Amino acid sequence: MHRAMQTRFFETPNEKELLSASAAVLQDLGFQIEESVRAVGFLRATKERSAREYGQYLQQVLFLVLSLGNLRIPVDLHQKIAAGLITRPLNRDATRQEVRIVFYRVVWKGDGQADRQYIPPGQQSMEMIRDPEIYQQFFAKLSKAVFLEAHTL
């Protein structure tokens, strides 16, 4: 289940450094660290951005024309992108470490209109981010930060 994409191995006994480097990379990517537990190698980071997309506004206008101005479908307004990261030693001597990261986002919809009724922002939806490029980008930055090669499965 997208495990290969989310996971990399590093030949290092220093889990703490890996974790702090991950935090630094996430900060470089504009995330803010929300929670960290060093003892189990856990980080959670989020960033909030606008989710407005050109295509959705085109769709909105199209529906508005087709429904003779009665229906303005809600569009994505705001999103919160989050990352959950876990590091863990793979063997007993802890010379190999695994880093696994999951990206997902929560999107707030709104700014629609049905007849005369304005639809206020509020509807939420959530999706996992499955774009491999985002994961590759993160791990490329991380391996640069710790001066180690990131091995895949």
Nearer to other proteins, 13 or 89 (CB): 89
Rounded Cα distance, 75 and 59, in Å: 9
Helix (H) or strand (E) holding 139: helix 132-146
Distance set, CA 13 to CA 45, 90, 92 (Å): 24, 10, 11
**Per CB under 8 A, which region of 23-31, 52-60, 86-94, 133-141 contacts other proteins?**
86-94
Q: How far is the CB of 68 from other proteins (least distance, A)?
A: 31
Could you tell me if 119 and 103 are in contact, meaning their C-beta atoms sit under 8 angstroms apart?
Answer: no
One-letter amino acid of 127? E
Return the residues of window 117-146 that contact other proteins according to CB under 8 A: 125-128
Among 47, 80, 88, 141, binds other proteins (CB under 8 A): 88
Please give the residue ranges that form the binding site for other proteins (CB under 8 A).
Answer: 1, 3, 35, 37, 39-42, 44, 82, 84, 86, 88-92, 100, 102, 104, 125-128
